[in-house]
Amino acid sequence: MSGGLYAWGLLRASRAGIHWQPWRVAAFYLLGLGSYAALSFGFLGTYSPDLRWAFSIRIALLLFVVPAGMALGLPLGLARVAVRPGRLRSVLAAAARQPVRIFSNSAVAPVLGLLVLSMMLTPLAGITRMSPVWEGLLGITIPLLGLLMVLPMVEEKTRISTALIMVQFVFAFIELLADAIPGLLMRLTPTIFDGAAALGSARPAWFPTALADQQLAGDWLWFIAEVMDLPILILLFVRMAKSDKGERKVLDELTDEQMDELNAAHLHQRG
């Protein structure tokens, strides 16, 4: 459905004389929807109910990779172009405003990512992994949560200060450290966290033991979470460089008298 809506948006934008960049279209369909299809119907989707490491990789990639690919296609920007001003556009904008505002908070993404990955340390992982209904729901909700986390950064059109970007840097670094915790615990702890029963006699010979399975899951979870945090730090660094360049340009254009007035106002506020 999302692919059809995106194609409809591209058609409407083309009729309006706006041509979307081909690499953004490719990112949405190949990296976003393509990776989702591979994760859902490929090896990881097939063996997620039986293997902890397949389930962990699938959840981590659904949270980080699929939303990143879809967000690079700028679906919100395309929706603004495709949907004409009117009642429908007002309703859609009102419905999206509050979730985007909440998830654009720098403190939300680290907490949400840690909560999702920490699910692997509870029996909830075993329940959802072995239930087709719950696993199907996770396949829908996890990418949506990841999309809400990454869209505000990719589609941010408002200008923000360097100081605010530095705050975002701090929270991104906290996320880089926190996301490693579930994977490390799964790797180093000899206890089986999800409490799932071992498979019966139909267990294939190449399947690892329960403990080895959990350790592999921890290794992959740690690796994916840390690797996918690096693009966020790079994006913030680029935004900080652009913001700092813009602020320096504004200051350079001020006269000496204007700079004196600005300094005096700043000192007065501090006093």
Place of tokens 């459905």: 1
DSSP letter at 16? Answer: T
Token pair, residue 103, equals 């998830």
DSSP letter at 200? Answer: -
Q: Please give the pLDDT value at position 12.
A: 83
Q: HSE (CB half, 13 Å, CA atoms) of 37?
A: 10
Classify 155 as helix, strand or coil.
coil
What is the pTM (predicted TM-score) of this model?
0.78
d(CA 179, CA 64): 12
Q: Please give the pLDDT value at position 35.
A: 94
Q: Please give the pLDDT value at position 199.
A: 47
Instruction: Domain count for the chain, please give it.
Output: 1
The domain of 51 spans 1-269
pLDDT tens by residue, the chain, 271 residues:
788 888 888 888 888 888 888 999 999 999 999 999 999 999 999 999 889 999 999 999 999 889 988 988 888 888 877 777 666 666 666 666 667 666 666 667 777 878 888 888 988 888 898 888 988 899 899 998 888 888 877 766 545 555 566 666 666 677 777 778 888 899 998 888 887 765 444 677 888 888 999 999 999 998 888 887 777 777 667 766 666 555 555 555 555 565 566 555 555 555 5
Q: Please give the pLDDT value at position 150.
A: 82
Token pair, residue 190, equals 């000899």
Classify 259 as helix, strand or coil.
helix
Provide the CA 160 distance to its chain's centre, in angstroms. 20
Which residues, at least 6 apart from 253, have a Cβ–Cβ distance to it below 8 Å? Answer: none
Q: Please give the pLDDT value at position 179.
A: 79
